[in-house]
Amino acid sequence: MTNPQGVGIDQGSYEKLITEVTEWVTGPGEDWADRIEASGEVPEELWSELRERGYLSMAAPQRLGGKGLSFEQWLGLMEIFSRSHASVRMIVHVVNGTWRAMDPWATEEQRDQFVRPSVAGTKKVAFALTEPGNGTGADISCSVEREGDTYYLSGEKHLITFGVRCDYWLLAARLAGSTGHEGTVALMVPRDVPGVRVEDTSQTMGVTGTDHAHMIFDRAPVPVANRLGEEGQGLQVALGGFLLPSRVSVAMSCVGLAERAQELAYDYAERRVTFGKSLTQRQAIQFMLAENEADIEAAKQLILYAAREWEAGSPRSQALSSMAKMTAVSMLGRVTDKALQIHGGLGYWKTEKIERVYRDARAQRFEEGTNEIQKMVVFRELQKTKTR
């Protein structure tokens, strides 16, 4: 296994990148947002633009063709991208993260076949863990039977982001008849593999345009050469190097979206006049905006602390990543609710940008694990400290 963490770029180059991304998000990014909401789809041209601008290869190390940002630097950009349309954020977040699951376990041949094309944005990889009939972990039931150099894959996956338009599914399954973590395998499954039926389940409340798939496999053949790691390491591949930093990244996306909601609320309150005064002159509104500001900053600082501890290899990283995610998600719910309330009834209309922000915010409640899951992780880590 290799160390997936980037060493970072110099401060001058990073500040230029921050400026560039901010200008894109507030300019072309807003145009894309309007287009996506109007059509209900994310066109392939958006993927191409993000790829050509290098936005899909920022977090990966230079040896994989990435820009080599440190994790904390990447989070600063995630914060900005998250102020854009949720589907823009989703593309950038996923592509800049899936390499973390693949790279530590890949052979050099597999890096050339899967990892580097993913970082370059020329091949799309969808993370396929969740199943309809169980949780997301050791109880997965999607199974494989090995015959010579081929695994035959059977079972179902659902809620798979970009699972319709991807080139490969990075899929966790288990050897038929095995239980628990033992016997799990991680496979790079080609999208066009025979023996699979893909259903497009993209009609969601928010995050308009991001495709989601339900896949049903019936002895779909997958080369053993497409396995990452060894038999028995499937969940380590799926969860170990990917889920922890991804939770921190999602937490920072909550901060970015909350900042956008706060910006919209403040701007509206300044221009909205009732009984001769703007809303910003009303103490009730002042208090709501002040509470939002403190809420956002508190979550942000916990997230940055979790990021630094993860980069340092701290044993507290597991607990801190879940603390950051659950704190940020709860904060986002409070901030967007107040922001919509400040808009009054008008905020409920699709003509106001806060309406989309409010819908998109709800998706963060289950991305990379619900708050209930995060609390279980935190308590489990707490128990470890008490039994030493």
Strand residue runs (E) in the chain: 125-128, 143-147, 150-161, 168-175, 184-190, 196-200, 212-223, 227-228, 273-274, 277-278
* CA dist., res. 194 & res. 176, Å (int): 20
Name 307's Cβ contacts closer than 8 Å, sequence gap at least 6.
71, 72, 75, 245, 248
DSSP letter, residue 41: S
Using an 8 Å Cβ cutoff, are 176 and 160 in contact? Answer: no
Phi/psi of residue 260, nearest 5 degrees: -65, -40
Asked if 102 and 144 count as a contact pair (C-beta separation under 8 A), the reply is: no
Catalytic residue among 291, 311, 368, 381: 368
Query: Distance (Å, rounded) from C-alpha 302 to C-alpha 247?
Result: 13
Q: Which two tokens stand for residue 94?
A: 């996923």
> Can 368 be counted among the known catalytic residues?
yes
**Rounded to whole angstroms, how far apart are CA atoms 306 and 301?**
9
**What is the phi/psi pair of residue 235, to 5°?**
-75, -30
Q: Where are the alpha helices (DSSP H) in 53-131?
A: 71-81, 86-102, 108-110, 116-120
Alpha carbon of residue 214 to chain centroid: 18
DSSP annotation string for 229-254: S-TT-HHIIIIITTHHHHHHHHHHHH
CA 176 vs CA 2, 15, 83, 194, 308: distances in Å: 30, 51, 44, 20, 40
Report the 10 Å Cβ neighbour count for 10.
8
Q: Which of 21, 2, 125 is nearest to 73 (CA)?
A: 21
Q: What angle do CA 36, 40, 46 make, to 5 degrees?
A: 40
Which of 246, 247, 266 has its CA nearest to residue 328? 247
Q: Which residues are identified as catalytic?
A: 368
